[in-house]
Amino acid sequence: MPLLETRGLCKAFGGLRAVNNVSLSVDEGEILGIIGPNGAGKTTLFNTICGVYRPDAGEVLFAGKPIHGLRPNRVARLGIGRTFQASRPFRGLTVEDNVRAAYGVRYHGGWRSLWGSPRAPDARQRAQELLEEVGLAHVAGMEAGQLSLGLQRRLEIARALALEPRLLMLDEPAAGISHEEGRQLMELVRRLRQRGMTVVLIEHNMQMVMNLCDRLVVLNYGEVIAQGKPAEIGRHPAVIEAYLGKEVAHA
């Protein structure tokens, strides 16, 4: 059974079909890449899977159970962590607090969360571990808004990891960061996968996509135009057409 599956997923805004009949699946332990030209609907797809949008039609199944229509915080707690295209840490909080906020989720019961402190030793230790994992332990006390973009992205990943997710959904994690940071990012994702994490990745950085992903799904105008291994996709005429235009594809 695939860990994540969408069946005929549709989401429209006004007259625009941002996601049109998208069916894909991700197996446990896989790294799936979602690529496509700008505006192809990739982030909308993420948002629909994670509960930010309610799909107009279709289903999303996580470990066999339907999750479409659930609120994002429910989806997160079920085991899906995500990052955002525009880096969105909690700017006014420290790096440590960013991670602890996510970790505190197990105390989500409202009034119950008044007892128990993020400053307690076990919570601090867990946060420390997560920060070390992504290489941010040295800036734990810094205000998140002060970090460089590359570090902010790592912080978002650490935050997503705090939930102990089974699936990690990364939206353009390599956007705007340096080559070296991109390399470190790839290392991090590989390490995570080695420990059993499943990853779905939206990326434009082709080198990262080709080297990291086991499989690719190509979107254009909200529809899946191709699926398969990176090597095959690179030769697929529809894909080339989507990126470079008709003339080049049929040249």
Give the binding site for another protein (CB under 8 A): 50-52, 71-73, 76-77, 81-82, 84, 88-94, 97, 100-102, 104-105, 107-108, 110-111, 113-119, 141-143, 159-160, 162-163
Cα 97–Cα 73–Cα 8 angle in degrees, nearest 5: 140
Which residue number, 154 or 215, has a Cβ lying nearer to another protein? 154
Q: Where are the alpha helices (DSSP H) in the chain?
A: 42-50, 72-78, 95-103, 121-134, 149-161, 179-194, 206-212, 230-235, 237-244, 246-249
Shortest separation between residue 196's beta carbon and another protein, angstroms:
20
161 forms beta bridges with: none
Shortest separation between residue 175's beta carbon and another protein, angstroms:
17
CA proximity to 83, closest of 16, 9, 150: 150
Shortest separation between residue 141's beta carbon and another protein, angstroms:
5
Which residue number, 31 or 160, has a Cβ lying nearer to another protein? 160
Which residue number, 145 or 237, has a Cβ lying nearer to another protein? 145
Give the number of other CB atoms < 10 A from CB of residue 26: 22
Which tokens sit at 238? 């529809």
Which residue number, 65 or 119, has a Cβ lying nearer to another protein? 119
